[in-house]
Amino acid sequence: MTTTRARPELDWPEWLPALPDPDAPDARITALIIVGALVLSGGLIWLALGDWVPLMLFAAGLVGLASLIMVYRRQFPARVQVQAALPDWSVTHAATDHPVIALAITDEAGRMICANQRFVDLFGSEVVPPKLPLAGQGGDLLAEAGRDAWRDGHGGAAGLVTAGTRIDAAVQRVGRGQDYLLWRFEPVQKFDLALEADQMLAGRPGRALGEGGFMAAAISPEGRIRAANSAFAARAAGAEAGNVVGRDLASFLRADERNRIYFEREGRKGVPLRLFHLPLVDPLHTTDPEEREKAPALVVLIDEDASGMDKGTALGYVQNLLGLLPVGLAMTDRDGRFLFANDAFIRAAGITEGTLPPYPGDLVVREDKGALADAVRRHASGQAMSADVALRLRHQPDEPVTMSLAGLRGMGDAAVLLSIKDNSEESRLKRQVAQASKMQAIGQLAGGVAHDFNNVLTAIIGHCDLMLMRHSPGDSDYDDIQQIRSNSNRAASLTRHLLAFSRQQTLRPQVLQLPDIVSDTSELLKRLIGEKIVLEVQHDRNLGPVRADPGQLEQVIVNLAVNARDAMLAKRPPGGTLTIRTRKITAAEVRAMASDILPADDYSAILVEDSGVGIPPDVQARIFEPFFTTKDVGKGTGLGLSTVYGIVKQSGGYIFVDSETGKGTTFSIYFPVYRGGAVEQRSRKPVKVNAGQWGNARLLLVEDEDMVRAVAERALTRQGFTVVTATDGEDGLERLTDSGPFDLVVSDVVMPNLDGPGMAMEMRKRMPGLPILFMSGYAEETLRQSISIDQVHFLPKPFSVAQIVDAVHGALAAAATPTD
């Protein structure tokens, strides 16, 4: 024990006792008692002798003694006080001496009062807490602990490091006046589980295990025995435990053809063993499987028949077996209480709390509880039998499942085995297939409707154009005709949305970079989303090029942004952040996603994220369906997201939606990286077309729709063309034979009997090089893939009078222009 008190140079005489502090209360009381005793003694002398001389001599002696004491008190005042106040430090030293824990006491001024030897060994005798030589931020942590102790009475700091030793500190405010701090430093000892196992097996616990029939050995990562109890040594080698240490565990064991384990020295007549392998690592801090495999281990061996296969062991074996099976299995007792359930059963039953409920009836809907409880009681009390019960689980009330029940015997008390198939993955795949089939069917229906509707719109728009040629602005009918034409064009826009959803619209793909498209659209988006919504644009570097129609891609971004705007304005208060990101997705990242839909490849992605109200789960499955909308009547057509879906799919991309109610929605669009060369542009040298240059050309018009054929015939005839009409492909071939050669064939694609492509191929056999102009409401790219005919032109429906005239002029001009 060290202190900071210094010794004085002069000592108090040994023949005088240490005087108490005269200011102390006890000293004053003692002085009064002494004075009273002296007065009483003087009175007794006077009464006894009756003479003043002895009394005077007694008083003179007392005065002399008092004078002598005062002289010594003035000469040694500091020593008197120190002798009076200095405690007995030997007692404190004995109380605080500890070989591991370091202790120190400081006063309010931060001065060291005392410290034990362990503190001096750790930190030295010249430092005072909290200014100790600690690594890192240890000094700050210790100072904070001291401040906490002065304020709250106690404080602490863990994980301090000094000279390679990790220590924990505890600080406590002590003393009668609470004016001292007691500092306690305790080194953190690392628990060596392997060493403890070695000591346990070599001591009484190892002998106790042997008496219970357990043969145990601790082995190193290399499989060598570190320690063993006497039961293991006797059975494995017929020797003492010390004689097996250092040898390979495998040398004492063998396995037969059924993989049963025996001791090698016992031969085939030996008793089969059950082996348990327990890694000697801290399970809370060691999660790496490789580290667990490389750690020391405790091996415990017991005889297979040591337990006699009582009912408890049989039940345990059955539970272990059921836990390894991929089928959902569980057991109940005769009262219907759960005894056990494997992981597959827990997943299939939708148990998310992590613990089994008391009864199987707690897993099903209220209406099925009684039927399940009766089935369990019947199988538990009767003969061994099995049956199936149709039930509805509580977490999936709309999907009935079949639960199989079987009575178990031979394990003591009766038990019931419950079986339920984990069909969560199967159900998910079924939903995906059903959704894909439904979307495909809707797409085919939408494409067919759009094609037929385009024929109607072509006739309406064409007749409006012909009527406008006879009326000038200012006429009474001009505005009405213009209004009809405007509404027809609006209807044509809706049909284009349907064709986009069904992936049958005409695209003009180009090789482009997604950041360029997003940047070109940003200014438009800022005007669309308004001032209450913040637009953020983020781009990854080194994105791969993609092949898509830039105009259609801009429409995708605009449609998603408008939907995000509406979702954020629906919040209270309205507003939020719209974030558009472009990301580089590698094939490794795609494989890490483990997606069943997205093939492993390199992608360039667009992510449109909003902080809106989100999409409910029951709505997410229908958001891409045409005409489905959650907006109020008159505020949405339901074609925005269906158009996005069709454009992305037709461009070879993939679209996914992730949404959480109240937190927002993210649309992720993945386009495969284009690795080809430049896009082959079907470009021609510009040809200046004279309106009257081809006025005497002969045209064969083949169209099965009467109203479309009539409009096209009138429009082309007004331009001076000689037009011969036919109602289908077969009729067109007859007109080609009967009416002589033609300069151009204008034909529909889809017709009864003989369609347009079939008719065109037969015409080319008769007249090679005959120019052909196809009209159709389907996508040009789809038609070109199905039509192997060169020098074919295309006119999408619906079209106006001016558009069909320009298309005919362009086809004639291209036919007259020599090719390179």
595: which 2 tokens? 């997606």
What integer pLDDT is reported at residue 120 of this predicted model? 87
How far is residue 106's CA from residue 130's CA, in Å, rounded to a whole number? 10
Can you give the three-state secondary structure of 157-189, one letter per residue? EEEEEECCEEEEEEEEEECCCCCEEEEEEEECC
Pairing of strands 415-420, 396-408: antiparallel
CB 598 within 8 A of CB 654: yes
What integer pLDDT is reported at residue 93 of this predicted model? 67
Q: Which residues of the chain have pLDDT under 50?
A: 4-19, 24, 76-85, 283-287, 306-312, 503, 678-692, 820
- Taking Cα atoms as reference points, which of 425, 420, 347 lies closest to residue 390? 420
Can you give the three-state secondary structure of 522-568, one letter per residue? HHHHHHHHCCCEEEEEEECCCCCCEEECHHHHHHHHHHHHHHHHHHH
- Is 754 in a helix, a strand, or coil? coil
Q: For 739, phi and psi rounded to 5 degrees?
A: -100, 10
What integer pLDDT is reported at residue 233 of this predicted model? 86
What integer pLDDT is reported at residue 675 of this predicted model? 84
What integer pLDDT is reported at residue 609 of this predicted model? 92
How far is residue 365's CA from residue 398's CA, in Å, rounded to a whole number? 10
How far is residue 253's CA from residue 240's CA, in Å, rounded to a whole number? 17
pTM: 0.37
Strand order in the sheet with 215-219: 225-228, 215-219, 297-303, 273-279, 261-263, 253-255
Residue 567 Cα distances to 32, 528, 633, 782, angstroms: 94, 14, 16, 36
CB 142 within 8 A of CB 160: yes
- AA identity, residue 77: P
Residue for token pair 């289908």: 728
